[in-house]
Amino acid sequence: MKKALILGVSGQDGAYLARLLLQKGYEVYGSSRDAQMSSFSNLHALGIYDDVCVESIALNDFRNVIQTLMKIEPTEVYNLAGQTSVNLSFKQPVEAFESIGVGTLNLLEAIRLMQTPIKFYNACSSECFGNTGDSAADESWPFKPRSPYAVAKCASYWEVANYREAYGLFACSGIFFNHESPLRPERFVTKKIVSAATRIARGSDEKLHLGNISIRRDWGWAPEYIEAIYLMLQQETPNDYVIATGESNSLEDFVAAAFDYVGLDWHNYVEIDQKLIRPLDIAAGRGNPSKARVELGWQAKHKMRDVVRMMMEHEEKQKE
């Protein structure tokens, strides 16, 4: 039986990955900074909490990291932990770099020292690319980070590449473009939009406050993207992959789709709030997933409007 350790199992991607690996017969361990205090609400939402062995790991503590790896002896390690908010990284840049850059480095160094055949996955981000404009970024696209979060993700990407080349580790990074699901917390703008549109349709007199709605993003369906993570660690040789739909839409398009679903004109319910505009923002992001399609056999089946519909359907059921 394969044994997997998922760092950040309580998040959206971690929970879906845990479910997928359990379905494939893995023994699954999941971590958070304090497993005794964490609610693991996403694991409960998917009905798999009792099937996952939870552990407390502080990724900025190297001794704790290597002790935990030696205790569990995983065959695969999935690093989905660390700060996940671009907005928060501007307010807490040191925490962003420590939790992402230092945390990834500690995991790689622990795996190197253990000298056991552990396969390692690192969650990278399309934020590393910065603005892609009218083009679609592939694995050769240069990095130009525009937030402390993106800077930390760039560092983690190069750490993985360095350990793979210098020490022969099976280590790879998935450069994921935006991917959403009902498990997103409301601090993510997509969930904020879906929740507000549902409440307004049910009679709430609130306004939805948003920042720059002209930005364009490549939005996909999170459960599909998790399949790409699994496939990366099943290859004969490790490699890095861009995971995206290849389609870009504006945040205004996303808002319009959510309100169209409930038969409302979004113009009547949305207000632009200058306080919500980031110090630096990416005007447009779109990915080219050709390499993943050819080498992994992976391709996104759902695009932005599918994502909105599925999130709205789930939100309505939750409100019934």
pLDDT at 275 exceeding the cut of 90: no
CATH no. for 3-179+220-243: 3.40.50.720
Fold of the 185-217+248-282+303-319 domain = UDP-galactose 4-epimerase; domain 1 (3.90.25)
Residues paired with residue 272 on neighbouring β-strands, in sequence order:
210
pLDDT of residue 320: 64
Average per-residue pLDDT for the chain: 95
Q: Which tens digit of pLDDT belongs to each residue from 212-236?
A: 999 999 999 999 999 999 999 999 9
Are 219 and 179 within 8 A, CB to CB? yes
- Residue 262, C-beta contacts closer than 8 angstroms, at least 6 positions apart: 197, 198, 200, 201, 312
Are 317 and 262 within 8 A, CB to CB? no
Tokens of 204: 């709430």
Residues forming CATH 3.40.50.720 domain(s) in the chain: 3-179+220-243
Kindly report the pTM of this predicted structure.
0.95
Least trusted range by pLDDT, from 81-90, 241-250, 283-292:
81-90
Element (H, E) at 227: helix 222-232
Are 85 and 187 within 8 A, CB to CB? yes
- Identified catalytic residue from 89, 125, 126, 147: 125
Angle, helices 304-319/251-261, rounded to nearest 10 degrees: 40
- Identified catalytic residue from 16, 29, 127, 315: 127
- Identified catalytic residue from 16, 149, 225, 241: 149
Active site residue 127: yes
Tokens of 252: 């205004």
Q: Read off the DSSP letter of residue 279.
A: S
Active site residue 149: yes
d(CA 254, CA 210): 12
Task: Using a pLDDT cut of 70, give the percent of the chain over it.
Answer: 99
Active site residue 204: no
Residues forming CATH 3.90.25.10 domain(s) in the chain: 185-217+248-282+303-319
Q: Which tens digit of pLDDT belongs to each residue from 183-209?
A: 999 889 999 999 999 999 999 999 999
pLDDT at 20 exceeding the cut of 90: yes
Task: Using a pLDDT cut of 90, give the percent of the chain over it.
Answer: 88
